[in-house]
Amino acid sequence: MKKSVVLQVVEDYVYEITLDRPEAANAFSHELMDDFLQCLNEIKKSSEVRCVIVKGSGDKAFCAGADLKERRGMNDQQVVETVHKIGRCIKEFESLEIPTIASINGVAFGGGLELALACDIRFVRDDTKMGLTETSLGIIPGAGGTQRLPRLIGVGKAKELIFSARRISSVEAGQIGMAERVVPFAKLEEETRELARRIASNAPIALKEAKRAIDLGINTDKDTGLSIESLCYKQTIPTEDRMEGLNAFREKRSPNYRGK
């Protein structure tokens, strides 16, 4: 049976998750969420992955959010449980220790944008739209949007976008810091994979500790954040990778990091 989410190794140490429901704008159905969680379990068990890209299938949508057709037959409790499940999928993705990149290759609305916001880095094609549009449907973002967007672009701008349910262009997303890079569609895959390749060439323990220091420190005061950074730095000191990095630098060669 065809899976709604495809996990593949695209290069050494670089994995790619593809939401594969192009006929439904890659929306979050229950089947897609189950397949997505299964992919995350495979990633967590692998010692060969150092960076993960997530994208949508086709050239129209990254992810349009919840599957509203599936939702029509649900009662209130089932809707709440479904939104909770979407939130759990996104939180599980966000909790990956390794760097993650959203390759936003089409529209990203509602839960689709919430998934992108849970990534460490967002690359977006230059001719698409995105937004947290839930208030226009009588609800609010329920899978982390009200918490992640203000932390990324500031409270006032996040309120403007969420209250108005406005769909913004990829160019505006780049201007306000919602996307790190705006790329022509023909080059999106190439540039996303190039960054992933560059990330994956670095020491995996250092990558994990850098991510941990940033994610834990960003929501604290600066002094506490500096203490967290110091603790994470210490985790890299006894590693073989640190010595390999020093030896490679001295010998003028590329390091061969093993995650030890």
Spatial separation of the C-alpha atoms in residues 94 and 162, rounded to whole Å = 21
Spatial separation of the C-alpha atoms in residues 180 and 65, rounded to whole Å = 21
Rounded to 10°, the helix 204-217/222-236 angle is: 170
DSSP class per residue in 125-189: ETT-EEE--GGGGTS---SSHHHHHHHHH-HHHHHHHHHHT--EEHHHHHHTTS-SEEE-HHHHH
Spatial separation of the C-alpha atoms in residues 168 and 170, rounded to whole Å = 7
Q: Dihedral of CA 117/122/125/126: which sign?
A: positive
Spatial separation of the C-alpha atoms in residues 102 and 191, rounded to whole Å = 12
Active-site residues, by number, are 66, 111, 114, 134
- Backbone phi and psi for residue 122, each to the nearest 5 degrees, phi listed first: -130, 120
Rounded to 10°, the helix 30-45/76-94 angle is: 20
